[in-house]
Amino acid sequence: MNKTDIYIGLNDQDTKRQEYSTAKFISILKNVCINYKVPFSFALIEGGYIHESGEYTQENTLVLSLIGIDRTVIDEIAKDLCVFFHQESVLITSGEVETYSISGNL
């Protein structure tokens, strides 16, 4: 099964600062996933990256994890998140993972 992670920085592409609360960004992320009706999980991390201009930035980042979702839907979600979070781009990683479930009946 395929697992995709979408990394969305929280700094605004123009001001290079986080313009809204992390809670607001999390709410937007959840609403996007609910609207697409996809199972999801996410994590808040801190990281750094280099802009196309060569400028280095540190920021809060949300990582959205999607398992078993069609690539066209992932691309639509990523484009929406770029717009809603006012980002020049988002990073997408994807690869095959083994999945299984365990039931905890006593």
Residue 35 lies in a domain: yes
Going by pLDDT thresholds of 50, 70 and 90, the confidence category of residue 55 is confident
How confident is the model over 12-54, as pLDDT tens digits? Answer: 999 999 999 999 999 999 999 999 999 999 999 999 888 778 8
Residue 64's pLDDT band, with cuts at 50, 70 and 90, is very high
Residue 8 forms part of a structural domain: no
Mean pLDDT of 50-78: 93
- b/e sequence 51-85, b meaning 16+ C-beta within 10 Å: eeeeeeeebebbbbebeebeeeebeebbeebbeeb
pLDDT value at 86 more than 90: yes
Residue-wise pLDDT tens digits, 89-99: 999 999 999 99
Evaluate whether residue 1 is within a structural domain: no
Task: Assign residue 43 the CATH number of its domain.
Answer: 3.30.70
Q: Which domain holds residue 46?
A: 13-96
State how far the Cα of 99 lies from the Cα of 106, in Å rounded to an integer.
Answer: 23
Tokens read off for 82: 């770029």
Tally the domains of the chain.
Answer: 1
